[in-house]
């Protein structure tokens, strides 16, 4: 099953890794791992259905003290310093450094990511929240993403990169605005590779957007795809090839940032920082979020099935290693508390 935007999709008909299917027929759920694995699932029954109600005991999460990180504080701050060295050498302007949190599931057989989605919907509502549950295909994802990767309406394509995070708007620094502008340029370039010449615009730059427990700087980048793919234009295959992985979770230049990320990070990101959402091929519409604020179940984990969650920060020359570590903690705290059942909705812990 899959759940996005008030729709519930059931009756699985087809699963493929071919992005061309998204320009065929039907309603598809999409999960693209950061490392490139793509799962597209077509469902036969798609109907309005609100987020599932929170049922006591339906989700049994990890113990609050069971979470471990792929990079501890010392390793993460050392990574920030190493990225600053790359910046000083002129190899990159910005790189996103991430770590993956993991915890064993106390009752793997009963773990249902849609029940976790229900908790997230009440404790951390997000515009691109959703579930994709395809256990036979190794996909069990619950996302509370606030970030738009790609929205497609006919030939119009929109992206909403987030860069810059603070507890309040007063916490945002000049570094945060510079970081956002760098990524907007990258996203403009990515969309320009596939959109019609001269059609890429930036309707909104560095808008402040409030989310539970924090604020983000968010920009909007928009372009127009050329004519129908059958006439030599661009479809989802070309769009994903031009823009994936999302620029806000890689860095600029993207190729250099990806090389640095591979050298510094010690765990695959999986659906975290990938693309998660839906495509309605019949209507020529779709909405993929950047897979941040995202949980996934890894049933092949060493030591038994585990729940995973990613958190990270964009590193620039103006980055302070301890502040960047604190940003990753801020982004994770509220979500991990929800998954572990310790979040207090009223006056509780900031995320």
Q: Which residues participate in catalysis according to the annotation?
A: 147, 163
Contact 167, 145 (CB under 8 A): no
DSSP code, position 135: G
Cis peptide before 253 (omega within 30 of 0): yes
- With vertex at residue 256, the alpha carbon angle to CA 250 and CA 257, rounded to the nearest 5 degrees, is 25
User: Which of 8, 21, 3 lies closest to 130 in space, CA to CA?
Assistant: 3
SS3 191: helix
Residue 181 corresponds to which tokens in the numbers above?
């502008």
Residue 157 corresponds to which tokens in the numbers above?
């394509």
Say how many C-beta atoms besides its own lie within 10 A of residue 6's C-beta.
10
Q: CA-to-CA distance for 208 and 324, rounded, in angstroms? A: 19
Residue 30 corresponds to which tokens in the numbers above?
């999409």
SS3 303: coil
- Using the CB atoms, write b or e for 62-96: b if 16+ within 10 Å: beeeebebbbeeeebbebbebbbebbeeeebbbbb
Q: CA-to-CA distance for 91 and 11, rounded, in angstroms? A: 48
SS3 329: helix
- Using the CB atoms, write b or e for 243-274: b if 16+ within 10 Å: bbbbbbbbbbbbebbbbbbeebbebebbbbbb
Largest CA distance in the chain: 56
Q: Tally the residues of the chain.
A: 351
Task: Name every residue whose Cβ is closer than 8 Å to that of residue 262 and which is 6 or more positions away in sequence.
Answer: none
């Amino acid at each position: 099953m899959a759940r996005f935007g008030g729709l519930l999709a059931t009756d699985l008909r087809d699963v493929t890794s071919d992005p061309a299917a998204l320009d065929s027929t039907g309603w598809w759920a999409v999960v693209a791992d950061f490392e490139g694995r793509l799962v597209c699932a077509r469902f036969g029954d798609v109907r309005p259905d609100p987020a599932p109600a929170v049922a006591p005991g339906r989700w049994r999460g990890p113990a609050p003290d069971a979470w471990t990180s792929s990079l501890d504080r010392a390793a993460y701050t050392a990574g920030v310093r190493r990225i600053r060295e790359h910046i000083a050498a002129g190899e990159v302007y910005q790189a996103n450094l991430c770590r993956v949190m993991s915890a064993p599931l106390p009752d793997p057989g009963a773990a249902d990511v849609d029940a976790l989605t229900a908790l997230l919907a009440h404790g951390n509502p997000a515009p691109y929240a959703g579930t994709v549950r395809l256990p036979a295909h190794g996909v069990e994802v619950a996302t509370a993403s606030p970030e738009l990767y790609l929205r497609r309406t006919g030939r119009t394509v929109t992206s909403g990169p987030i860069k810059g995070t603070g507890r309040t708007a007063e916490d945002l620094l000049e570094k945060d605005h510079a970081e956002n502008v760098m990524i907007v340029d990258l996203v403009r370039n990515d969309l320009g590779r596939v959109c019609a010449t001269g059609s890429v615009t930036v309707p909104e730059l560095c808008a402040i957007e409030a989310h539970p427990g924090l604020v983000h700087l968010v920009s909007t980048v928009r372009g127009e795809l050329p004519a129908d793919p059958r006439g030599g234009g661009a479809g989802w295959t070309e769009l994903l090839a031009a823009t994936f992985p999302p620029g806000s979770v890689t860095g600029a230049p993207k190729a250099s940032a990806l090389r640095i990320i591979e050298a510094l990070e010690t765990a695959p990101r999986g659906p975290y920082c990938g693309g998660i959402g839906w495509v309605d091929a019949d209507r020529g519409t779709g909405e993929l979020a950047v897979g941040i604020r995202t949980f996934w179940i890894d049933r092949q984990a060493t030591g038994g099935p585990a729940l995973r969650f990613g958190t990270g920060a964009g590193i620039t020359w103006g980055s302070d290693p301890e502040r960047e570590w604190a940003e990753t903690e801020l982004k994770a705290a509220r979500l991990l508390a929800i998954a572990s059942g310790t979040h207090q909705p009223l006056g509780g812990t900031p995320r």
